[in-house]
Structure 1
């Protein structure tokens, strides 16, 4: 507190009153104190008593895109299982793909003095975590890399997965392959698009930008895009989707259609193997992803001081039927 008081030009007592939200501090004075705290990288310490006693808070923080997405719920469960083995509990929050919300959650967990942090990045700026990283708190980024800090990262092979899917569709007679991806400012979306483009080149078919649709997709939006892609004089005969939510929207949009495109989706999802036809997917095991991130984190908590690691986990193409439909297939 003395550093904050000196920088803000106030007494230690005033700093204490601002930090503890006590009344009687002029707004301008409080603003100077808060600015000094931000500049010095200090954080509100909810677990100060335990730390003074030399105890761990017994928690780690996990910031996800959406805990309601089955992919991230599987990742969360794996992190919890690893953490339980080390006697820790997991605090979890959803960023909803909002960079400000991600920062808010991450700093809230830091304020509660979690022992470590696992983050699925929603934004590209993570310098706000440097005070924690330099003080020794381990941070692991998962599914996507951090934008501007060097830290442990666990990814999947998005490029190879998309390229393999294109090769599979071309092997089944398709030359007009469409790609429906997520927002282009998301790392996984751009990597899968890049893999799609490279896959077209390797498979000997032209990359056609008119067959690509990127952006946050609603059910209505996907249906509209599909009407364009599957209509006209040179329609797409096959579709590769960039994540499981888009895949589900596509399935709804083509339900009841007599002529169906071949379909391969990124990310597996529940009951995909029971649909008619069963849905072919590029499978990413969220449990493996979560476990790898948690193990990296606990290795750091155990004293590992090696340079930051970047792990890229393989994906697996699972042919079930929808990706094996020939051009012009009918129900």
Structure 2
């Protein structure tokens, strides 16, 4: 700011008044100041300005598992849309399922004095956020619950979604259904496995641990699993996948083969409806999830002091044909 004042031939106070659109500055003086700002590329430090005024920093933090995953991209976009309506910007980072990285990102956002925080938990220990929560910063956990703090949480009904997928496959004659899930220590993966087991029990299908493979998965590991569960006289005739990335790995593994097993995947994904046959999915609507979390966060910022809430959002099966392939 001192450089702008020197170039424009005015005091720092005058530059401050122009930058903050305060009255009482002569038009010619303001014009000189603005020209100096343009020439020097000066930008206001809005964070510092707001902190001096004791007001909002104009930002919220969002910690995700992987911003590159289309599921979390949809969630992020919904959070951004809600935040924009309240005049806030969103700072985003990926934890890569690393609890230490999650903690590092969350505390970094807190150090930047974000107005609130939305977290997709990577671990089970969130006591590190208690000083922030106690001081009044709202924190909302989304997609998975926190491990050791009581805070607002927005989840989806993973158990019902997996059970509905099994029921759909069983209705088309499948009795040997394989389940490929994510790492079992991830909350959503464990819940979907539980839903798979409950769905098998309701459909009268014996649960066979040999047809279950929990991750983390890669393309080669999925291919090896399919080679195993789709072979032999007791082979699976259908596959339920635990998330969109596993579904894509399955599709790549069976591409070019003589046939594709019946398939239902958790999470929708781009072009799923254009494949042959189109892929049936359990749809979670990440936009709905992100919107609910953001609206809860801003309710807190606007003065809601009710006890912490736990919202459970429904999922729904989208049958498109891949889950309706009859067993041979």
Q: TM-score, normalised by structure 2?
A: 0.85
Cα offsets for 1:175-207 (capped at 9, x unmatched): 000100000010000000000000000011101
Partner residue, 1:173: 173
Partner residue, 2:195: 195
- Aligned equivalents of 1:54 and 1:111: distance in 2? 15
The 8 Å contact of residues 47 and 58 in structure 2, kept in 1 or not, is answered as: no
SS at the partner of 1:312? strand
Cα offsets for 1:281-326 (capped at 9, x unmatched): 0001011000000000000000000000000000010010100001
SS at the partner of 1:129? helix
Cα offsets for 1:114-162 (capped at 9, x unmatched): 0000000001100000000000000000000001000000000000000
**1:243 is aligned to 2:243:** yes
State how 1:259-278 maps to structure 2 within 5 Å.
259-278=259-278
Give structure 1 stretches of 5+ with no counterpart. 1-45
Partner residue, 1:74: 74
Q: CA deviation at 1:172?
A: 0.2
Partner residue, 2:214: 214
SS at the partner of 1:118? strand
Partner residue, 1:310: 310
Alignment RMSD, CA only? 1.1
The 8 Å contact of residues 65 and 95 in structure 2, kept in 1 or not, is answered as: yes
- Aligned equivalents of 1:101 and 1:125: distance in 2? 12
State how 1:1-331 maps to structure 2 within 5 Å.
50-328=50-328
Cα offsets for 1:51-99 (capped at 9, x unmatched): 3421210000000001111100000000000000000000000001111
SS at the partner of 2:149? coil
Give structure 2 stretches of 5+ with no counterpart. 1-45
- Highest Rg: 1 or 2? 2
- Aligned equivalents of 1:304 and 1:55: distance in 2? 18
- Aligned equivalents of 1:273 and 1:172: distance in 2? 20
SS at the partner of 2:154? strand
Q: TM-score, normalised by structure 1?
A: 0.84
- Aligned equivalents of 2:51 and 2:108: distance in 1? 17
Q: CA deviation at 1:261?
A: 1.0
Partner residue, 2:19: none
Matched length: 283
Q: CA deviation at 1:168?
A: 0.5
Cα offsets for 1:16-58 (capped at 9, x unmatched): xxxxxxxxxxxxxxxxxxxxxxxxxxxxxx9566334212100
Partner residue, 2:26: none
SS at the partner of 2:295? helix
The farther-off stretch of 252-261 and 47-56 is 47-56
- Aligned equivalents of 1:281 and 1:245: distance in 2? 13
- Aligned equivalents of 2:120 and 2:137: distance in 1? 17
- Aligned equivalents of 2:295 and 2:57: distance in 1? 18
